[in-house]
Amino acid sequence: MTETKHPLPETADMLVELGCEELPPKALDTIREAFYTSVQKGLESSNIRFSAEGSRSYSSPRRIAIVFRDVAARQPDQELDRRGPAISAAFDAEGNPTGAAKGFARSIGKEVSELETQETDKGQWLYARIHEPGKPLSELIYPILELAIKQLPVPRPMRWADHDFSFVRPVHWLVVMHGKKVLNGELLGQQASDSTRGHRIHSPGPHTLPDSASYEEVLFAAYVVADQDRRKALIRESLMQADPNVHIDTDLLNEVNNLVEWPVAVSCAFEQNFLEVPHAALVASMQDHQKFFPVMDGSDSGKVSNRFIAISNIESTHLPSVREGYERVIRPRLADARFFLEQDKKQGLDANLPLLDRAIFQKKIGTIGDKSRRMSVISRKIAEYLSLEPKPVSRAALLAKCDLMTQMVGEFPELQGVMGRYYALTSGEQQVTAEAIGEHYAPKFAGDNIPASDAGKIVSISDRLDTLVGIFAAGLRPSGNKDPFALRRSALGLVRILIEAEIDLPLNKLLALASNELAGQIEVTPELLLDVREFIVDRLRNYYRDQNFGTELISAVLSSSWETLPDLDRRLKALADFMGQDDAASLAAANKRIGNILRKSDETVSQTIDANLFIFAEERVLFEDITNLSEQISPLLEKGDYETSLKRLAGLRKPVDAFFDTVLVMDDDLALRANRLSLLARLKALFDRIADLSVLG
């Protein structure tokens, strides 16, 4: 460790760097940001001042670092007011201090004679003002760092040597500096110093840091681009310079960015005859397995060429040798893909159906073969409901999982569905069947497109329905972070397809379809289907919250008598537009008031309203307006025209306001009271046909 003699300044940049063995690239960004956030919170809770502007985190394959700007050298001093026991308890009858007074004085480092008396509304108390000097940063920083490290979302912590602590990877050096001064201490088995390490090959070091602010500059001179954002931009730029037709996958770019410290693009190629392998398999071989960036052929077909670009972590003096190395490692992968393709094509896709009966989906609900047959029946019935040709859809659902048994998907699991489509076409299946097989896993992630074809949508729906109902019936609903069957994603995908494709089938009917097909294998009770429905509705709430719809607005439409998700969607969007109008707030408040009145009333509310019992003109006007509007909006509601219906209902604002200004609902006359409650119930029911406005505002 380098000793420094610089006096600790009042404020200076603080640098912390953990130098490690190669860190997991997919988890590195999350770990880095979590480390920064935890240390930031630690500084704030310790009352160590710093400037958030310019403070940031760094990471590369061999390091995680944070820099906080203008960090104070110590906490500010504090003047603390301490109140002790009451005077009556602090001194005895002779005026001598009691044990309570002595104990209080001792706890704050004073004599009883030094204490003061404080007058309050509740009497007199012993009192003292204490000057508490702030603790230095050097004393506070290591507990903050230790806590931050314990809180990191490390996927698989490791232990090394004979240490009793763990971290994501073994730590080999530690930098903790405040300006030019090292803050002495130990962390993860390393003593803090002002020495960092450079590129493992080009400039390993150690390299002395003159101060915290020189971090990036020193590392760049040592062939390390410490700023991950700058490094990513360099990678993107070098890829585009190497070939403008390069395909840059965002996830791959992020991963490669965390695999290199000094990126260098290397243009490579492989033999043309490998282009016989399907496009998706070529991309998977290069992109997912070797971390290479494929280059497209530049045509409108969007097919891959026989070129690719690798990002090296070294600036070689003999680039052809590096290129040859990358080309040598890709050939066996491509050869394997071609071999798997040839073997799989020797038989039709449906030849894999018997193999599905050997693969367990879930032991209580059977094999993947069982699931495929259930999906086939569900898909056929949905197609019939939608007046679509059922045979190709049912066939697609039956064959949808067959590619899981192929050698290609066994080697490249990410190609499931994609290879199913390819093998369906080469096996002579109808185009609509093949497309549905290829699409049925969509949407795979947030922001992914739903299936494009009607058949693909139906097969995807049937797959998700069977999984949701079946896994719930098996007693394996998600708990906390545990969701091994990805039920949350399945439910959200189901919600998206039904809404975005405007498939107007009742959710209860769809769940019943899945329940019926599972009935021979496992019990599915009505109560369980209600649980599944509520689980889907929870995902629906999240779906709408992500679109910035208010929680109360969502609850209002969910409280209505909806059956299909597209119908619910129309209600929500119409209500959102309506709530922006002048009359909406008043009507929502009136509905809330009505709801409260009806809930608090112990009386049974009749469906019948007796116009002869009206005393005030406001009662009669409201009754007539409700009656007329009910007749007007009924045909509109049947068509799902909720927007026009709400515009018509907005006309009730004045008669409703007038009613409440004039009429006492809870009259002592029981007949009048019952009649007015019935009138309010009918008014609320009119709005409830669209949404329950009583939950708003």
> Who's near 75: CB < 8 A, 6+ residues apart?
46, 47, 48, 134, 135, 136, 140
Question: pTM for this structure?
Answer: 0.78
Cα 608 from Cα 536, distance rounded (Å): 37
Per-residue pLDDT at 1 exceeds 70 = no
| SS3 per residue for 260-307 | CCCCEEEEEECCHHHHHCCHHHHHHHHHHHCCCEEEECCCCCCCEEEE
State the virtual CA torsion across 54, 222, 268, 409 in degrees, nearest 10.
Answer: -60
pLDDT in tens, 509-550: 999 999 999 998 899 999 999 999 999 999 999 999 999 999
Assign domain 11-75+136-221 to its CATH superfamily. Answer: ACT domain (3.30.70.260)
Side-by-side strand order, sheet with 171-178: 51-60, 63-72, 11-20, 171-178, 181-182
Confidence of residue 6 (pLDDT cuts 50, 70, 90): very low
Asked whether the beta carbons of 71 and 13 are under 8 A apart, the reply is: yes
Asked whether the beta carbons of 71 and 14 are under 8 A apart, the reply is: yes
Q: What is the pLDDT of residue 89?
A: 76
Q: What is the pLDDT of residue 225?
A: 97
Per-residue pLDDT at 351 exceeds 60 = yes
Average pLDDT for residues 167-186, to the nearest whole number?
95
Residue 62's φ and ψ, nearest 5 degrees, are -120, 15
Confidence of residue 667 (pLDDT cuts 50, 70, 90): confident
What is the per-residue DSSP string for 545-589?
A: HTTT--HHHHHHHHTS---SHHHHHHHHHHHHHHTTSHHHHHHHH
Q: Write the DSSP symbol of residue 175.
A: E
- Give CA angle at 66 (60, 71), nearest 5°: 160
Asked whether the beta carbons of 304 and 257 are under 8 A apart, the reply is: no
pLDDT in tens, 18-76: 999 999 999 999 999 999 999 999 999 998 999 999 999 999 999 999 999 999 998 88
Confidence of residue 87 (pLDDT cuts 50, 70, 90): confident
**Integer angstrom CA distances of residue 470 from 324, 404, 568, 632:** 51, 20, 26, 44
Is the C-alpha dihedral spanning 549, 554, 560, 563 positive or negative?
Answer: positive
Cα 205 from Cα 19, distance rounded (Å): 12
Q: Does domain 581-695 have CATH number 1.10.730?
A: yes
The mean pLDDT value of the chain amounts to 91
Indicate the residue type of 403.
D
Cα 470 from Cα 595, distance rounded (Å): 39
In which element (H, E) is residue 36 found? helix 25-45
The stretches of 318-451 forming alpha helices (DSSP H) are 319-344, 353-356, 368-385, 390-399, 407-411, 418-426, 431-439
Q: How many CB atoms lie within 10 A of CB 684?
A: 18
Confidence of residue 9 (pLDDT cuts 50, 70, 90): low
Tokens of 20: 């490690």
Q: What is the pLDDT of residue 465?
A: 98
Q: What is the pLDDT of residue 591?
A: 81
Is the C-alpha dihedral spanning 539, 544, 549, 554 positive or negative?
Answer: negative
In which element (H, E) is residue 495 found? helix 487-500
Tokens of 150: 């314990």
Average pLDDT for residues 176-180, to the nearest whole number?
95
Confidence of residue 4 (pLDDT cuts 50, 70, 90): very low
> Who's near 661: CB < 8 A, 6+ residues apart?
618
Residue spans per domain, the chain: 11-75+136-221, 79-132, 229-344, 351-548, 581-695
Is the C-alpha dihedral spanning 137, 139, 140, 144 positive or negative?
Answer: positive
Side-by-side strand order, sheet with 78-86: 78-86, 123-132, 116-120
Cis peptide preceding 443, ω within 30 of 0:
yes
pLDDT in tens, 370-387: 999 999 999 999 999 999
Per-residue pLDDT at 88 exceeds 50 = yes
Asked whether the beta carbons of 242 and 309 are under 8 A apart, the reply is: yes
Q: What is the pLDDT of residue 5?
A: 44
Q: 1-15, 104-118, 649-663 — which is least confidently predicted?
A: 1-15
Q: Does domain 351-548 have CATH number 2.40.160?
A: no
Confidence of residue 120 (pLDDT cuts 50, 70, 90): confident
Q: 364-373, 488-497, 628-637 — which is least confidently predicted?
A: 628-637
Q: 176-180, 248-252, 330-334, 596-600 — which is least confidently predicted?
A: 596-600
Per-residue pLDDT at 183 exceeds 90 = yes
- Neighbour-count burial of 660, counting CB atoms closer than 10 A to its CB (0-12 exposed, 13-18 middle, 19+ buried): middle
Q: 325-334, 460-469, 677-686 — which is least confidently predicted?
A: 677-686
Per-residue pLDDT at 3 exceeds 70 = no
Asked whether the beta carbons of 531 and 485 are under 8 A apart, the reply is: no
What's the chain's Rg over C-alpha atoms? Answer: 35
Q: What is the pLDDT of residue 339?
A: 94
pLDDT in tens, 146-172: 999 999 988 788 888 888 888 999 999
Of residues 114 and 372, the one with the higher pLDDT is: 372
Per-residue pLDDT at 569 exceeds 80 = yes
Q: 2-16, 161-175, 536-550, 665-679 — which is least confidently predicted?
A: 2-16
Percent of the residues in the chain that have a pLDDT greater than 70, as a whole number:
98
Percent of the residues in the chain that have a pLDDT greater than 90, as a whole number:
68
Q: What is the pLDDT of residue 587?
A: 80
Residue 12's φ and ψ, nearest 5 degrees, are -165, 165
Cis peptide preceding 61, ω within 30 of 0:
no
Per-residue pLDDT at 697 exceeds 90 = no
